[in-house]
Amino acid sequence: MLNLVQKDSFRNGIHPPEMKDETSHLAIRRFPFAPTLVVPLSQHLGKPASPVVRAGQEVTRGQTIAEPDGFMSVAMHAPASGVVRKIALAPGIGGNMVESIYIEPHPASSQEVDDGVPCMLETSTPDEIIGAIQRAGIVGLGGAAFPTHVKLKAPEGKTLDTLIINGVECEPYLTTDHRVMLEQTADIFTGIRYLMKATGARECMVAVEANKPDAVRKLRKVCPPDLPVTVRVCPVKYPQGAEKMVIRSLLDREIPSGGLPVDVGAICVNVATTAEIGRLLPRGRGIQERVITIGGPGVEKKGNYRIPIGTTVRYALEECGASKDISRVFLGGPMMGPSVSNLDIPITKGTSGITAFTDAQMDEATGHKKIYACIHCARCVEACPLFLNPSQLGILAKKEEYERMAQEFHLMDCFECGACSYVCPSHIPLVQYFRLSKKMVRKLSAAK
Amino acid sequence: MSKLQKFLEIGSSPHISSGASVDVIMRNVFIALLPVCVFSVYAFGIAALLVLATATLSCVITEDVLCRTTGKPSTVGDWSVAITGVLYGLTLPPDLPLWMVAVGGIFAVGVGKFMFGGLGCNAFNPALVGRAFLQAAFPQAMTHWSLPFADNRFSDLPGSILAFPFSEPVYDAVTAATPLARMKFEAIQAENPELLWGLTSGSAGETCAVLIFLGGVYLVARNMMNWRIPISIMLTVSIITWVFMQIDPVTYPRPAFMLFSGGLMLGAVFMATDMVASPITNAGCWLYGFLIGALIVVIRFWGAMPEGVMYAILLANAVSPHIDNLIRPRVFGTGKGAG
């Protein structure tokens, strides 16, 4: 079955330990409602949604509680039936405060959701599907949280020919996409039908990394014969799941520097996002929960959970029996997941997992080891999937030559996969420098 | 309600690392050099042991003292200066007066490494800087070669070794010309087995090609050395030599002689591959190796000296940053690949 693994993949990349065995066999379980759910109005890139409920108002699970404010915005839905306590600031992942709707679920609130106005595949136009996706509050569930409906329409003069469903999931520890592919296989193909109709793509490929053979088998078995879908197996390599990398691996096309997938006629949608489209649109529902992996050595009851949006990290960790000596908690996987400074931040649509490390793992973390000078060993150059020169960029970052980094060494192309920091024997926090440098470049160009 | 009360640590991702470390890499280079050192002592006796020990100690102590006097934490623990010391010792004649060894060691680390800013900043291979200094300062002592496998090598010390500082060394042992000198001045080529197994005279650590090669294989297998550099050097030397041998087999030696004589193996495997002073891209490494190989042939064939590996590598070190400027990887999504 897996002899069809693509020989051709993107160049460079790294092989961190996968750490997926602890959760990949565990079926998705439902999560109880926390005493308070905090639904931020901005869980996506773009404009925050505008609330349509007031403090004290009763809401039912699945009800729209915030409407999209413009095209670069999506709706929010009530994760549980209960009372809106207040609309106030709540802590966000970046240490910032975000306007959020606090909902107090009724005791013994049901997990049932009422269906809304369905968007039927056969009778809807592409624009109606795109509108329905926006109203369902769907954003990229892989982590970027980019509003999905925005990328479905090719700009004037460009055509989309290939829809790529991204089930690569190359981050260590995370197995949500893996479980979704096994358990929501039919939803995925329904979602593909919606997406193909909305985008006008003629062909669809589902990309799966070779370490999920059961998902590949299941997808190939369930795939309806009338759909032009192929399931493609990619070699296990980080960051295979990055948009640029997966398109290069499957189509042998390179997204131009500074460009978008549509520039090479492709669109990339995360597999869990696709499954949600397939599950929600026919019922007229919106996203009020998502599947996340809660794992890492600091968690006892590791697993994949369908968790209400707005559950705080603290509640999630306590329910899963987090050990008392957890020392670092991050949302998503260890390569790109941001670490949280406050356990009271809510899980949002872009959260693919909660991983908790204890002191024992921190010895391996960047920032905990002695930093040596760069010895030009070239490991970062061989790891960077975009063929940048992290060694040179790191030296320039230290000298604060941000503009030169951007102009001469393509700093702004870096999508912060962290492969350079991972391999650096001098333990130089390269990608960390680059994050900062990118911010500085944006600041400098805004000042001009 | 809140059971989790510990202070959380925040840090920018990635939260894991490969575990690679500079000191581990350096320690492995040191390990790869050990068999070469052992053979050196076996072939040249106590004299070589003293030269190697003096070279290493002088380099390590120089770095430690310089760090302390400039108020920096000592960088001896990263093992890089130990490698410099051992490599430097291996390039010296095994009966060189120890005071010269120490002076060169101080120069190697002080000028070749510390003045440039320490680890990661040296433009040239520090070991070769030390050797080049000695070559210029003491040309006679640096071209005096003792016989390998002398019967009394473990019982007697050559008189030259303990020469009083700044006095003229007195040589009591029989002088032996190196294979390269015999080739250059007498047109006699040594046989392959002697060169491979290190039965000839020469610098303390350059004679046994096989052990040097195995050290290189060990490092390449551990992904701690870019194999393209030694391979590029050896290919370049072989091809150019072969062409000239076809033209005039009397004047020009066979490629195998060129490869396994003198400091070529030691230079190609352990000196030219100094990560700090070599290019960062693979394409750059091929070019860098080609440059070294071509320079070696030019100096050996037409230069005044029989050997040219040291100057070839130092010159290529100087060019290395320019190679990195010239050869840059095509960034993803630019140039031909885009679209």
- Identify the pLDDT of residue A341: 87
In the block, tokens 């948009």 appear at A243
Interface touch B120/A426, C-beta < 8 Å: yes
pLDDT tier at B175, thresholds 50, 70, 90: confident
- Identify the pLDDT of residue A156: 85
Whether B6 is in a domain gets the answer no
Interface touch B13/A264, C-beta < 8 Å: no
Model pLDDT for residues A182-220, shown as the tens digit of each residue? 999 999 999 999 999 999 999 999 999 999 999 999 999
Note the Cα B261 to chain centre separation in Å: 15
Model pLDDT for residues A86-141, shown as the tens digit of each residue? 999 999 887 889 999 999 999 888 888 878 889 999 999 999 999 999 999 999 99
Interface touch A322/B4, C-beta < 8 Å: yes
Show Cβ contacts of residue B62 under 8 Å, excluding neighbours closer than 6 positions: B81, B105, B106, B108, B109, B110, B114
pLDDT tier at A410, thresholds 50, 70, 90: very high
For helices B46-69 and B80-90, what crossing angle results, to 10°? 140
Whether B14 is in a domain gets the answer no
Could you give the number of structural domains in chain B?
1
pLDDT tier at B165, thresholds 50, 70, 90: confident
Specify the range with the lowest mean pLDDT, choosing from A24-33, A116-125, A131-140, A414-423: A116-125
Whether B13 is in a domain gets the answer no
Q: Which residues of B touch A328 (CB under 8 A)?
A: 8-11, 15
Measured in angstroms, the CA of A401 and the nearest CA of chain B are apart by 17
- Strand order of the β-sheet with A29-30 is A29-30, A303-308, A289-295, A353-358, A326-331
Looking at residue B160, the DSSP 8-state letter turns out to be G
E strand spans, A289-404:
289-295, 303-308, 326-331, 353-358
How far is it, in rounded angstroms, from Cα B101 to Cα B108?
Answer: 10
- Identify the pLDDT of residue B1: 40
Measured in angstroms, the CA of B293 and the nearest CA of chain A are apart by 22
- Identify the pLDDT of residue B337: 61
* ipTM of this complex: 0.90
- For residues A132 and A119, the answer to whether their CB atoms sit within 8 Å is yes
Phi, psi for residue B164 in degrees, rounded to 5: -70, 140
Q: Which of B78, B275, B328 has its CB closest to that of A376?
A: B275
Give B240: exposed, middle or buried? Use CB within 10 Å, 0-12, 13-18, 19+. Answer: buried
In the block, tokens 């590598």 appear at B313
How far is it, in rounded angstroms, from Cα A191 to Cα A275?
Answer: 6
Interface touch A325/B6, C-beta < 8 Å: yes
Q: Taking phi first (over 0 means left), then psi (-120 to 50 degrees means alpha), and beta for anything else, what does residue A210 get?
A: alpha
Give the number of other Cβ atoms within 10 Å of residue A27's Cβ: 9
Model pLDDT for residues B215-268, shown as the tens digit of each residue? 999 999 999 999 999 999 999 999 999 999 999 988 899 999 999 999 999 999
| Proportion of chain B above pLDDT 90, given as a percent | 67
Q: Of all helices (H) and strands (E), which one includes residue B178?
A: none
Cis ω for the linkage preceding B14 (within 30 of 0): yes
Q: Which residues of B touch A361 (CB under 8 A)?
A: 15-16
Measured in angstroms, the CA of A92 and the nearest CA of chain B are apart by 14
State whether residue B17 sits within 8 Å of chain A by CB: yes
Residues shown for chain A: 448
- Identify the pLDDT of residue A1: 41
- Parallel/antiparallel/unpaired status of strands A162-167 and A266-270: parallel
Radius of gyration of chain B (CA): 22
At A76, the amino acid letter reads M
By C-alpha distance, which of B75, B113, B124 is closest to B316?
B124
- Identify the pLDDT of residue B146: 87
How wide is the angle at C-alpha B333 spanned by C-alphas A443 and B289, nearest 5°? 105
What CATH number does residue B70 fall under? 1.10.3430
How far is it, in rounded angstroms, from Cα B277 to Cα B290?
Answer: 15
Residues B119-141: what's their mean pLDDT? 94
Query: With a CB-CB cutoff of 8 Å, which residues 25-54 of chain B face chain A?
Result: 25
Contacts from A399-402 at CB under 8 Å and sequence distance 24+?
A400/A440, A402/A437, A402/A440, A402/A441, A402/A444
State whether residue B298 sits within 8 Å of chain A by CB: no
Average pLDDT of every residue of chain A: 92
Note the Cα B171 to chain centre separation in Å: 26
Looking at residue B269, the DSSP 8-state letter turns out to be I
Which CA distances in Å does B283 have to B239, B324, B326? 19, 9, 10
- Parallel/antiparallel/unpaired status of strands A162-167 and A326-331: unpaired
For the cut 80, the answer to whether the pLDDT of residue A334 exceeds it is: yes
How far is it, in rounded angstroms, from Cα B216 to Cα A121?
Answer: 64
Domains of chain A: 1-30+120-364 (3.40.50.11540), 379-447 (no CATH)
- For residues B312 and B296, the answer to whether their CB atoms sit within 8 Å is yes
By C-alpha distance, which of A303, A228, A369, A230 is closest to A30?
A303
3-state secondary structure A27-85: CCEECCCCCCEEEECCCCCCCCCEECCCCCCEECCCCEEEECCCCCCCCEECCCCEEEE
Cis ω for the linkage preceding A91 (within 30 of 0): no
State whether residue A374 sits within 8 Å of chain B by CB: yes
Whether B12 is in a domain gets the answer no
Domain around B58: 23-326
For the cut 70, the answer to whether the pLDDT of residue A6 exceeds it is: no
* pTM listed for this prediction: 0.92
